Structure 1
Amino acid sequence: MTKLPGNAGVSLLGDKSLEFYRDPVSFCQQRIEKHRSRMFLCRLMNRPTAFICSVQGMRELLCEKSSLFLKDPTDLMTNMYGDTIVTTNGEEACLLRLSLTSHFTGSCLGSWSDYIASVCERCLKDLSVSGQPESVYTAFKSLGTELVLGLFLNVRAEKQPELFQEISQLCTQHWHGLISAPVNVKVPMWSSGFSIALDARNKLMDIIKDKLENDKEGFVGSLGSLPLPDSSSAAQHLLLFISALIPKALASLLNSFTLALGGNGQEKARRQAAEDPDYLCRVLLEVQRLWPPFIGGRRIADQDSTLMGFHVPKDFGVIYISHAVHRDPEVFQEPDAFLPERWSGRNEGHEHFLCSFGNGPRSCIGAKLTNVFLKMSSLHLFVSGCLHFPPVIRRRAALFPLVTMEMRSTCKYLSTLAKAAR
């Protein structure tokens, strides 16, 4: 076994979380070049952590050795959502996946198509006629919010506008608290962001429990018949499914799609994508490859193991970086170029080399739903003519609209501790 290149530094003061969060792309690229390796060691979230930036390492971690690297049971996702399919490990995670997967495939998925199409048409039809610059990310986020609240909670914006707005605002408060320092403080006239998030979660749970008790239609009605581990599991999963996390991820991908195909120089690509469903799929794969909506995923080594031939001791953290994995030159030639045709050539059938929504036995159960939504919304953007106009937005410098919640909040927390230590 080979020792990991790099070093974990000293506890707390040697932590690189702040540097990593400020610019994840440069952080990883500099160390890949320094160590001449797409796997290296740093201290992240005050834990020695192996960074994986290659397809091979990602596949080993998430597929071949997924049982050896577990979700962290102490992270903020568990704090804010409870025991869900995202946060549990072992047999419990497998049982939850078996129970919920049927609701995201087959006839259930097909039954949602009409609603998805109607939401896309209503939310996107005015983008091209206002005559003013539009924040398309905001529009796409609103579109995603309508999608998740309508599909998972039976709350439709056009039928229950007040309840829809209340839930949307609570979801936003919940999200913003998740990405703040995990400090629960309340004093007269002020509450910490995390405290506000906990209050928002409690209010959302009250709404969700009322829905579960009184609404017997659609997705929310069907959860009662599933073999879930306890009475709170259905409510916790609904909280996860309506979270601001999903609309932000969908908005990120549509935002990147708009930037990739918008403007006068992309007429041919737009026309081909609008007329050829296979080419549209390749475009969406390339958008997902170049601009993944999540920074990656984190695991904890449950025992001594190896990844890419490097020794990973028990209790080390391991994080795969989607942006770097998707630009692995061993797999993707011209890794920084937008080339949809690669998916009908050298990389045909290599969709399993992407990890935007995880990979292996713990991949996102909603990936097929996401794909349906992206295809429908893309086609509505073609029909509306929105993409004929030059994009008026700029991609964020770090390329990651989202990060894992526990990472961002811990970065801020570590910054406070480091200042105190100095």
Structure 2
Amino acid sequence: MSKLPGNAGVSVLGDKSLEFYRDPVHFCRQRVEKHRSRVFQCRILNRPTAFICSVQGMRELLCEKSNLFLKDPTDLMTNMYGDTVITTNGEEACLLRLSLSSLFTGSCLKSSNDYITSGQPQCVYSAFKRLGTELVLGLFLNVRAEEQPELFQEISQLCTLHWHGLISAPVSLKVPLWSSGYSTALDARDKLMDIIKDKLENDKQGFVGSLGSLPLPDSSSASQHLLLFISALIPKALASLLTSFTLALSGDQQLLNNMNIYLLVHEQTRRRLLEDPDYLRLVLLEVQRLWPPFIGGRRIADKDSTLAGFPVPKDYGAIYISHSVHRDPEVFQQPDDFLPERWSGRNAGQEHFLCSFGNGPRNCIGTKLTDVFLKEACMYLLNHYDWCLDPPSQDLEYKWLPVSRPANTPTVSFTQLDQTPSDRSNDTS
């Protein structure tokens, strides 16, 4: 068996975490080319770590050998959210998933349909994030911006502060007139938990009411999961994908070249999307493939194992990189090109090769909700607006952490479309 390419380095001095977090896409691309392998090793978070940049390796890590590669019980997600369906391991994780899965299907999701199409989204990342925040707070906590503006604003601000705990050094420090980002995040978490516990005790309607009645392990489990569901994770993911979708369909040829995509003529593409709902599915799959909202995820080897034919010793880390997996040339021909038709051709039925929201038995429990929201929001945009970059020339270079999006927030001008009565009657929104 071939040795895992690369070098794990020495403790502390050989750590490459800073280089990785500065530009994870360049970091992985450079090493894939250097080692001529889409699986390699180096030291991250002071732990020897296997980097997985191939579809085969990702499928083994997250699906076929998911029982051998576990969530890290000491990571920041556990510190910030407690024991939830995404941070626990083994039987506990399976039981939590079984209990919660019923809340992400059927009537609980149908109730979100009217809510998520009620606004008029604008094409800037911050506007889409606001739309996503309205979605999660309305759906999961029964807090709507138009009905309880002060509470909505308070929770939104606390969620932002809490999110910063995931991207801050885990050092809790307070001195007069100053607190570390991590300490501020912990304070925000405590305030959010107070609001959540009050909701669980007094609100018996909708998702929050259903969650409170589930047979969960202990009294704190419902509140910890609700904290996860209303966090900034979902709004940021939705904002990332909607921003990429809007930019991809901006119709600007220079932009298309910069983003390495080759769409049909803008008007033809738009017409096809409106007339063929399945084509919208293909476009959204391709948006997710090229611009996954999250860079990947991390596991710890519980036993000696292998990934893609390379040995991975016990206690090694294993990180799958969604951006690289989605560009695996052995699976995706012309991997850097925007080709929605690939999903009805060579890659038809291979949606399970994507890992934007994880994969296998531990994939994101809210994937269906995300799909519903994205399709509704995109159809609303297509039915009501045309748009273009404003100004036409903008820096659209992406940053990939903590959530993928252009490093400089793009600004887009929307033009409302004229609709005939028959058009409005056929409007899916």
Shared fold by TM > 0.5?
yes
Deviation, structure 1 residue 397: 3.2
Q: Deviations over 1:226-262 (max 9, x none)?
A: 1110000000001000101110111000010011111
Instruction: Map residues 14-29 of structure 1 onto 2, 5 A cutoff.
Output: 14-29=14-29
Shift of 1:385: 1.1
Match of residue 200 from structure 2: 212
Q: 1:192 aligns with which of 155, 172, 180?
A: 180
CA distance in 2, matches of 1:339, 1:386: 22
Match for residue 166 of structure 1?
154
1:390 Cα deviation after fit: 5.9
1:373 aligns with 373
Per-residue CA deviation, residues 349-389 of structure 1 (Å, 9 max, x unaligned), is 00000000000000011001000000010011112214355
Partner of 2:48, secondary structure, is: strand
Aligned pairs (5 A) from 1:7-406: 7-118=7-118, 122-124=119-121, 127=122, 136-263=124-251, 265-387=265-387, 394-400=395-401, 402=403
1:131-163 Cα distance to aligned partner (Å, 9 max, x none): xxx6x1011000000000000000000000000
Determine the C-alpha separation between the residues in 1 that align with 2:395 and 2:191.
35
C-alpha distance in structure 2 between counterparts of 1:362 and 1:56, whole Å: 17
Q: Structure 2: which amino acid aligns with 1:88?
A: T
Q: Secondary structure at the match of 2:14?
A: coil
Amino acid at match of 2:132: G
Equivalent position SS for 2:101: helix
* Cα separation, 2, equivalents of 1:258 and 1:97: 33
Give the whole-Å Cα distance in 2 for the aligned partners of 1:391 and 1:149: 33
2:371 counterpart SS class? helix
CA contact (8 A) 1:173 1:197 kept: yes
Counterpart AA for 1:342: R
What is the letter of the counterpart of residue 301 of structure 2? A
Pairwise CA distance, 1:396:
4.0
* Contact 1:292–1:400 (8 Å) recurs in 2: no
Structure 2: how far apart are the matches of 1:168 and 1:352? Answer: 33
- C-alpha separation in 1, matches of 2:300 and 2:397: 30
- Which residue identity lines up with residue 320 of structure 2 in the other structure? Y
Q: Counterpart of 2:398 in 1: which secondary structure?
A: coil
State whether residues 184 and 195 of structure 1, in contact with CA within 8 Å, keep that contact through their aligned partners in structure 2.
yes
Contact persistence 2:43–2:49 (CA under 8 A): yes
Residue 410 of structure 1 aligns with which residue?
A: none
> 2:219 is paired with a residue of what secondary structure?
coil
Relative to structure 1, the CA distance from residue 145 to residue 396 in structure 2 (aligned partners, 3 Å threshold; closer, same or farther) is farther
| 8 A Cα contact 1:296 1:320, kept in partner | yes
Distance 1:275 1:354 in 2: 26
2-side partners of 1:402 and 1:325: how far apart? 17
Structure 1 CA distance for aligned equivalents of residues 169 and 350 of structure 2: 39
Letter in 2 for 1:54: S
Deviation of 1:123 (Å): 3.6
Which ranges in structure 1 are unaligned for 5 or more consecutive residues?
A: 128-133, 404-422
Q: Is the 8 A contact 2:9 2:43 kept in 1?
A: yes
**1:21: Cα distance to partner?**
1.1
Structure 1 distance, partners of 2:345, 2:401, is 28
Q: Which has the higher contact order (CA 8 A, sep 6+)?
A: 1
- Scaled by the length of structure 2, what TM-score is found? 0.89
Rounded Cα–Cα distance in structure 2 between residues aligned with 1:123 and 1:193: 34
Question: In 1, Cα distance between the equivalents of 2:245 and 2:112?
Answer: 23
> Which residue of structure 2 lines up, in the alignment, with residue 131 of structure 1?
none
Compared CA separation, residues 394 and 230, structure 1 to 2 (3 A): farther
State the alpha-carbon separation in 2 of the partners of residues 212 and 106 from structure 1. Answer: 21
Q: Aligned-residue CA RMSD in angstroms?
A: 1.4
Greater helix proportion: 1
Once the two structures are superposed, residues 95-154 of structure 1 have per-residue CA deviations (whole angstroms, 9 ceiling, x without a partner) of 000000111123322232122222xxx242xx4xxxxxx6x1011000000000000000
Q: Which runs of 5+ in 2 are unaligned?
A: 253-264, 405-429
Secondary structure (helix, strand or coil) at the match of 1:299 reads strand
1:387 alignment partner, SS class: strand
How many pairs does the alignment contain?
391
| Contact residue 60 and residue 307 of structure 1 kept, 8 A | yes
- d(CA) in 2 for partners of 1:69 and 1:396? 34
Q: Give the Cα–Cα distance (whole angstroms) in 2 for the partners of residues 401 and 77 of structure 1.
A: 13
Please give the TM-score of this superposition, normalised by the length of structure 1: 0.90
1: distance between equivalents of 2:390 and 2:310? Answer: 47
